[in-house]
Chain A
Amino acid sequence: AQSVSQHNHHVILSEAASLELGCNYSYGGTVNLFWYVQYPGQHLQLLLKYFSGDPLVKGIKGFEAEFIKSKFSFNLRKPSVQWSDTAEYFCAVSANNAGNMLTFGGGTRLMVKP
């Protein structure tokens, strides 16, 4: 069975700081990778996804993530965060042979100070 680890549970940054959130998964086969964001009081929204191809994927709101297969990692980055990025971020994995089942990491709460 696959599992997902997010190393940082809470991150506090000042506006304009750079962001990198770590995500590692364990699964030996082919996976699809996702980052979802949950803003306060709102539902989960997709930031970006990786299915195949270029391992550097760009998502909405200036976020990007890099899939490093050898490290089983899919870290999320943003060069300059804004106060409006305050939210909880979830990394998720689906194995190609597991249908639509998503396995989520524990989430990272990001607080951006104005």
Chain B
Amino acid sequence: KAGVTQTPRYLIKTRGQQVTLSCSPISGHRSVSWYQQTPGQGLQFLFEYFSETQRNKGNFPGRFSGRQFSNSRSEMNVSTLELGDSALYLCASREGLQEQFFGPGTRLTVL
């Protein structure tokens, strides 16, 4: 099976813009989670989607949002970008009680 894929791999945006990141889970996986990885804060949970419903949400402002489609693909959106949003955004998928499988991430740089 193909692994978790994320597009784009790299993004450069300026403050105030918005951005949409995409994640395709492993085939058959219905749960998709998003994480933010920064040198200062480490890996932090953003949100989780399962069968198109947000099941869990981390402690991030409302500028961070996401959605999941019927084919389990997921997108996350960050509006009104701030410098501090520069990070590696990781997507992970899971099915049942198994572990989460991570994608390569999208490196977002906000200038």
List chain A positions with a Cβ less than 8 A from chain B: 34, 36, 42-46, 49, 51, 90, 92, 98-107
Contact = CB atoms under 8 A, between A and B. Distances in A.
Interface in B66-84: none
Contacts of A34: 99
B31 to A, nearest CB: 5
The main secondary structure of chain B at its interface with chain A is: strand
Interface in B26-45: 31, 33, 35, 42-45
Contacts, number: 54
Interface string B51-78: 0000110100000000000000000000
B102 A45 contact: yes
A99 B103 contact: no
B87 interface: no
Nearest to B55: A99
A100 B56 contact: yes
Interface residues of B, number: 23
Contacts of B90: 43-44
Given A34-B99, A106-B42, A100 B105 contact: no
B98 to A, nearest CB: 9
B62 to A, nearest CB: 18
16 contacts: A36-B102, A43-B104, A44-B92, A46-B100, A46-B101, A100-B31, A100-B48, A100-B55, A100-B92, A100-B94, A101-B33, A101-B45, A101-B58, A102-B35, A102-B45, A106-B42
